[in-house]
Amino acid sequence: MFFVAGGTGFIGRHLIHEMQRLTFKVRCLVRTPEKAEICKNVGFEAFAGDITNRESLKGAMNNCDVAVHLVGIIEEKGELTFQRVHVEGTANFVDEAKNAGVKHIFYQSALGASAASQAKYYKTKAEAEEIVKSSGISYIIFRPSLVIGNGDGFTEKLIELIRLGPFVPIPGNGNAKFQPLYIEDWLRCFFTVFSDGSPGVDFESNIYEFGGTEYLTYNEMVLQLMEAMGVNKPLVHLPLGLVKMSLPFYDISKGIGSLLGKRIPSVTGEQLALLQTDNICGRDSVERLFHFKPVTYSEALSKISRHS
């Protein structure tokens, strides 16, 4: 049986639906009755708990062979800090996995995870990886580049920006490179590893960095998304310093936007910094590691139903 934490997030929802199709046995960790229904509706068990609450996990993984950890945040909100969710939450998750005798741990990290990173997101992801690696349990760690598909927050924010006004604001020069990967290709990577419910011999205890076949700048991704939406607007590059200065006034802007019927996408200083940094690995990484070729960004956009 698989235990899945984060099964109601973007990647998690796609994963549990595919697990249902493949008739996997799954128990999901859920924080609310509404999220429990999502798991129950696909025929899976729901266990009420939260990785940031150690006591709530007791017994959660009993009789499970594989523990899948997809929980992560891209923005700190109140008590949900990177340290608490990524580091302390992973420590709680691993402790319970050891108590339950879990045989394998899967952890979803991120391309760029590094203890030396200045970004708290990447730094805490790296700390979480170390907790998994030192668990004494067989592990698989994925470090994908940007994963896109129906429900992904990155594309949703870009769509909001594109729809916002007569031009599309771009923080900085927009030349940082990314390697977008379609969610169905991420799933294919996952099930290449767990094709029979446990890692194959080629996938024992390792970290896998991978992304799509293209290096695309932020500018290029915005332009391709606009084309997919049938929108033609100019890109206006804003000095990064000016954008950072406006961050303290975001809540005011958000309020004004709601009055005007416009949704202002949220952004943090760290997210702005990440948009200025390349996030790439080998363009052949998926072919080399998982033996298939992922779709291009434009092909992925054509499959995302909500861009129209």
Domain assignment present for residue 288? The answer is no
Query: Could you tell me the CA-to-CA distances from 102 to 118, 133, 193 in Å, in that order?
Result: 33, 14, 17
pTM of structure: 0.91
Domain count for the chain: 1
Q: H or E segment at 46?
A: strand 45-48
- State residue 223's pLDDT score: 97
Higher pLDDT, 249 or 285: 285
How many other C-beta atoms can be found within 10 angstroms of the C-beta atom of residue 294?
25
- State residue 275's pLDDT score: 82
pLDDT band at residue 266 under the 50/70/90 scheme:
low
Contact 66, 104 (CB under 8 A): yes
Domain assignment present for residue 21? The answer is yes
Domain assignment present for residue 86? The answer is yes
- CB-based contacts of 81, cutoff 8 Å, min separation 6: none
The domain in which residue 50 lies consists of 2-144
- Which residue in the block uniquely carries the two structure tokens 């609310």? 32
Is it the case that residue 262 has pLDDT exceeding 70?
no
Domain assignment present for residue 228? The answer is no
- Which residue in the block uniquely carries the two structure tokens 């608490």? 84
Per-residue pLDDT tens digits for 169-180: 888 899 999 999
Domain assignment present for residue 73? The answer is yes
CATH code for the domain of 23: 3.40.50.720
Domain assignment present for residue 195? The answer is no
pLDDT band at residue 245 under the 50/70/90 scheme:
low
Domain assignment present for residue 134? The answer is yes
Mean pLDDT, residues 129-133 taken together: 98
Per-residue pLDDT tens digits for 137-157: 999 999 999 999 999 999 998
3-state secondary structure of 177: strand
Could you give the count of Cα atoms lying within 13 Å of 134 in the half-sphere of its Cβ?
A: 8
Distance CA 273, CA 276 (A): 5
Contact 61, 102 (CB under 8 A): yes
